Amino acid sequence: MDNNSQEPEQPNILDDPVHGILIPSLLFVGGISLLTYLSGELRLLLSLPLLFTSLGVRVYMAHQRKRSLFPDRWTSLELDDQTVVSKNTALYRFKLKTNLESLDIPAGYHIAVRVFIDDKEEIRYYNPISSKLDTGHFDLLIKSYADGKVSKYFAGLKPGDTVEFKGPIGELHYAPNSSKALGIVAGGSGITPVLQMLNEIITVPEDLTKLSLIYANDTENDILLKDELDEMSEKYPHFEVHYVVRNPSESWEGDVGLVSKEQMEKYLPKYSDDHRLLICGPEAMEKMVVKYAEELGWKQSVSKNKGDDQVFVF
């Protein structure tokens, strides 16, 4: 996160029910029992109702804190930090209810965000890009647009401000090793559900799905989280990434222009019953890639996206 951010909070051991409820209760009961036995003073046992009352309150509070997101109601969560990652994109880190909780949502699913601007409710959907192994927080990567009311609202947030969330929400069905190979085409901020998928797959050692990504942007500076993607491709041999830049600098050595059928044929797995293709980006890019996919033999559903579709458009 940014250089001005504070050191991350250490997990509060008392948030763990074993340490915060069970062990103190057993110690208290054991202590009272021992004192009663040694002193013969039965009135000491009158403290037990106080323990059970306190225990009930503690259990209720722990139950209230154990989840930060619900699919059927909104929850206010606090912004912890904000980091600018490009000229128009920032990473927003939100705190979960406890430092022990992780945001474990299905791969490819998103969460709903609700804000009020000029007394009008605005709802948008974003894919968390943090790993399900991260505890105490989750990260959203949000690109600001000239006419984007909610993205501008996010840009004005300060640590300590709260935003309402609900979820998870989504349709994609994915299970480890459900496909031998997964081809992905992403453009711009469409990389966010892809990062979520990558974090889901590469953190499961048993998942040997081969991953091939084409990531398209206008310029090199628009490539979001390139260092992280490159690190993934170096660390995980079954993942490879290829960049396409529309308006490159003179020093650019990668592919140039828009995503092409030739690039898809060269970098992505060929059509097969045990292969899948995921697409996420600007609408014009998605339509173009779907057209190329059909020409390359991929089967595209004629109706609305279904979770098991071989070609899935986010």
Residue 259 has which token pair?
A: 């995503």
Mean pLDDT (the chain, rounded): 86
- % of the chain beyond a pLDDT of 90: 62
Is pLDDT above 80 for 272? yes
Convert 239-291 into a string of H (helix), E (strand) and C (coil).
Answer: EEEEEEECCCCCCCCCEECCCCHHHHHHHCCCCCCCEEEEEECCHHHHHHHHH
Domain 181-313 has what CATH class? alpha beta
Is residue 135 packed enough to be buried (19+ CB in 10 Å), middle (13-18) or exposed (0-12)? middle
Most confident of 82-91, 110-119, 130-139, 296-305: 110-119
Which residues contact residue 253 at a Cβ distance below 8 angstroms, ignoring those fewer than 6 apart? Answer: none
CA torsion sign for 103, 105, 107, 110 is negative
* Better pLDDT: 38 or 132: 132
141 is in an annotated binding site: yes
124 is in an annotated binding site: yes
CA distance 73 to 194: 26
302 is in an annotated binding site: no
290 is in an annotated binding site: no
**75-169 domain in CATH 3.10.20.30?**
no
Place of tokens 């984007």: 148
151 is in an annotated binding site: yes
CA distance 2 to 91: 10
- At 61, the pLDDT band (50, 70, 90 cuts) reads low
287 is in an annotated binding site: no
- % of the chain beyond a pLDDT of 70: 79
Residue 97 has which token pair?
A: 């209810």
Which residues contact residue 275 at a Cβ distance below 8 angstroms, ignoring those fewer than 6 apart? Answer: 179, 180, 181, 182, 183, 269, 310
Which amino acid, one-letter code, is at 23?
Answer: I
Place of tokens 């480890």: 176
67 is in an annotated binding site: no
What is residue 169's predicted lDDT score, i.e. its pLDDT? 92
Residue 92 has which token pair?
A: 């927003």
- What mean pLDDT comes out for the span 172-200? 93
143 is in an annotated binding site: yes
